[in-house]
Amino acid sequence: MGAILYTFLSVIIVSLISLLGIVFFILQKSTLKKTLLFLVSLSAGSLFGGALLHLLPEAIEKSGFTLTVSLSVLSGILVFFLIEKYVHWHHCHDPECSGHKHHLVVMNLVGDGVHNFIDGLIIAVSYLASIPLGIATTIAVILHEVPQEIGDFGVLLYSGLKKSKALFYNLLSALVAIIGAAIGLLFATETFISLIIPFAAGGFIYIAGSDLIPELHKECGPKDSFWHIFALLLGIGLMVVLKFIAV
């Protein structure tokens, strides 16, 4: 019962983060960009830490570093790669191609919805494995969702949606995480949990290494780089602290 309550509380919090798109109108463009890059760095560190300090050790402790664990990690990397590929195939890279903007809305919402579904599934399974693992996973997901949801909101605005509709659709996409969590709780077995945990680790590693880190290399000034490294270490440090608390 505790795992169920923690799971739904966590996915509701994660879903409500989609409303942070409102900061798009509060912060100046230059400030927003610097803030987002700091959050991206923090997110990358927490995802690496969550994968390598929490999820993988949990998977290995239960079954050892078997071929199944390795394949599950690789599956996580591949699935998140395919999700991004699907979205990018349908993106219009020319700012003037307004005729394709409605496709951008649909693809962004579909890709984000699938991503959120998997996040909900991962959070549920993590809590079923152990409450500390669920908390660490939730924090890593939250830190990743903050810059992602703000970015998604920007894409929806660019695509021609009004502010209110962009917020609504972004929230609707985020709420898919609740469905993922419910399915995770309903159908989880020991075998399923043992597969999803290393799968989540692979997904976290892919997002941090292929999605977030490259964004940080676009701003390479000494001052920017210092804060990126600081935030990256802060995210890893947070996962280390959670590890000791769990122990």
Residue 65 lies in a domain: yes
Residue 187 lies in a domain: yes
Query: Which residues constitute the domain of residue 127?
Result: 35-246
Count of structural domains, the chain: 1
Which pair of structure tokens corresponds to residue 151?
A: 């970015």
Residue 93 lies in a domain: yes
pLDDT at position 78:
95
Residue 51 lies in a domain: yes
pLDDT at position 175:
93
Residue 8 lies in a domain: no
45-91 pLDDT tens trace: 999 999 999 999 999 987 788 999 999 999 999 998 888 776 655 44
Identify the segments of the chain with pLDDT beneath 70. Answer: 24-25, 27, 86-104, 246-247
pLDDT at position 24:
67
Cα 198 to Cα 208: distance, rounded to the nearest angstrom: 15
pLDDT at position 98:
45
pLDDT at position 235:
94
Residue 25 lies in a domain: no
Residue 19 lies in a domain: no
Residue 117 lies in a domain: yes
